[in-house]
Structure 1
């Protein structure tokens, strides 16, 4: 399993963007990369560099997904009918940890992965501890009864930092969500611009 232990804020600094739109992100104060040469003048990126950056941004947003798994999403997106970029976004948004994050059960996508791993989430009444589990339209995701009083959950549910998108229906005091449909790129509330078409170009070189 690939390591994803690096700080989410390091990902922000490296990419130079506040990926999750969080007020505490250091990019809000220092809009340059980390390290000794972070403030040096940046050259205009090549086409390859632009595509690579788009891929890193999308991978990073979903908790720094491993390259092998991310490539599998690309391959599945190309097999499906329709726009490959839109298909890629839909596959990422069908991940269980992404839906747990979108539903505001936890404050970050990293916390969502850990929350699922530790068995705090039910899908259609059954415990699922695989963060990459692909949800289907109509699946019901909820926080286990014993986990509903966790401070992490209570704070996230009451937070006004994010809104729940309209392809997820929330009920039961914010602790139960129904995944209504796979979204299009325009439906997903990314705080920064995502360019899945560049990611497709990167892999199809």
Structure 2
């Protein structure tokens, strides 16, 4: 088992939820936290509830580091409109998230690695920064030499998730157009996300 796969399953176990809706998640068999006391359930405090919501959202996007995640919060606060909706939009505009949503790779962890290794172009130019912010109408494309990679072909064929309507994906050409920034209701999370609690956590 690879380190990334192992980390993904550890996040699922720690959260007690199948964050990505994957059929092989250990939470499908054991819906409780790991460890000797994993099955004990205590009513969390408000702080604990907010922290859990933050850790779950961070984990979903490939376990984003705290410093970077806080910057997303600060940018969401600066923007007009609902801060929690702004936060979700910023996360969904990440290049690795767009690659994952377009079904070019099976997991968000694979998407980060895929971008890092230079397999992805944005508007015809190679971009190897997973956190790169994709704009409306940007075209994200798999490099010609990478289109026949097994990981890509297998991901496209996966039946377990669909491409959301804020992205137009062409799996024959292996390219996708980012149509618009989504709101929380548009994002196909496998579990309920509560960005409002994340905002409360940081604004304490």
TM-score normalised per structure 1 = 0.96
Distance 2:23 2:158 in 1: 13
Cα gap change, 1:174/1:102 in structure 2, threshold over 3 Å: closer, same or farther?
farther
Residue 37 of structure 1: CA displacement?
1.6
User: What is the aligned partner in structure 2 of residue 7 from structure 1?
Assistant: 7
Residue 195 of structure 1: CA displacement?
0.3
User: What is the aligned partner in structure 2 of residue 184 from structure 1?
Assistant: 183
Cα gap change, 1:65/1:182 in structure 2, threshold over 3 Å: closer, same or farther?
same
Stretches of structure 1 that go unaligned for 5 or more consecutive residues are: none
Deviations 1:38-84 (A, max 9, x none): 12x21100000000000000000000000000000000000000000
User: What is the aligned partner in structure 1 of residue 94 from structure 2?
Assistant: 95
Cα gap change, 1:65/1:123 in structure 2, threshold over 3 Å: closer, same or farther?
same
The alignment partner of 1:169 has SS state of strand
Residue 5 of structure 1: CA displacement?
8.3
Cα gap change, 1:174/1:18 in structure 2, threshold over 3 Å: closer, same or farther?
farther
User: What is the aligned partner in structure 2 of residue 83 from structure 1?
Assistant: 82
Stretches of structure 2 that go unaligned for 5 or more consecutive residues are: none
User: What is the aligned partner in structure 2 of residue 200 from structure 1?
Assistant: 199
Tell me whether 1:73 sits opposite 2:72 in the alignment: yes
Deviations 1:13-34 (A, max 9, x none): 0010000000100001001111
User: What is the aligned partner in structure 1 of residue 128 from structure 2?
Assistant: 129
Does the CA-based 8 Å contact 1:97-1:113 persist in structure 2?
Answer: yes
Distance 2:155 2:5 in 1: 22
Residue 175 of structure 1: CA displacement?
1.0
Kindly report the root-mean-square deviation, in angstroms, between the aligned alpha carbons of the 2 structures: 1.4
Distance 1:4 1:86 in 2: 29
Tell me whether 1:49 sits opposite 2:48 in the alignment: yes
The alignment partner of 1:68 has SS state of helix
Distance 2:152 2:63 in 1: 22
Q: How many residues align?
A: 202
